[in-house]
Amino acid sequence: MTETLTIDAILAMDAEEMRRRMAAPPEERAAFVRVAAEGGVAEAQAIYGQMLLDGAGLPADPREAVRWFDRAARQGHVMAINMMGRCYDLGWGVAVDKVRAAEWFRIASDRGLDWGMYNYATALALGAGVAEDKPAALALFRRAAAMGNAKAINFVGSFHEDGWVVERDMAEAARCYALAAEGGDFRGQFNHARMLADAGRVDEALHWLAKVPETATDAFLAKARDWLAGAPVAELRAAAEGFGRQSRDG
């Protein structure tokens, strides 16, 4: 007999039953989350939007994903607010609109979300959809970095390596890249590997380079391949072979 779930039944579930439902096979999990989303639960709406975006347990449908992110965002769900920015930034289910993306990111940032801070800081640093403001960007990157956001830590390292806003400080850049790498950021892993290679620690550099393709985007892998192809060390040039397409965005 097929179970008929209702929003009232879901709201009455204890934490253990919720965990069990969310650990179910993808199709069952998607059906469960949809009932809660349709019942008006903002967290479920945000999760269901992500499932639709990823095609997790149901066919991918970016347009429908945006609709659910929007519903959750209108209830103040901060990650959904950030995801609306991501959709406009990358053209997931909507036309690319950097101005609208930056505005969504600003709202998520103002509400204290580290990812909102990182994304809005990126827009400020690059002048994407908002006037370029590198000092404001660095301040936000530092706030997100203090919350443990590995991508923000990596970007702080870039400011120190390139001498943006602050004096060029390669030691501080290297420290940030190492932290970002340990935190799982693929850009941090690559930058940490660069620094290690420059210091003659090639074996350690290769260790971190091997991790990059696990999560990196196609665009980043292409840039990394180009850099490795021109590296002065043969072992680094050989590592470029592992930087194939991964079909990721972001």
User: Per residue in 204-224, pLDDT tens?
Assistant: 999 999 999 999 999 999 999
> CA distances (Å), 123 to each of 71, 85, 102, 105, 118, in order?
24, 11, 6, 9, 9
Among residues 236, 217, 235, which one has the least CA distance to residue 226? Answer: 236
pLDDT of 1 strictly over 50:
no
155-159 contacts: CB < 8 A, separation 24 or more?
155/118, 155/121, 155/122, 155/125, 157/188, 157/191, 158/191, 159/134
pLDDT of 3 strictly over 70:
no
pLDDT of 245 strictly over 80:
no
Ranking 1-5, 110-114, 200-204 by mean pLDDT, the lowest is 1-5
Alpha-carbon Rg for the chain, nearest whole angstrom, is: 21
pLDDT of 247 strictly over 50:
no
User: Per residue in 149-203, pLDDT tens?
Assistant: 999 999 999 999 999 999 999 999 999 999 999 999 999 999 999 999 999 999 9
pLDDT of amino acid 248: 44
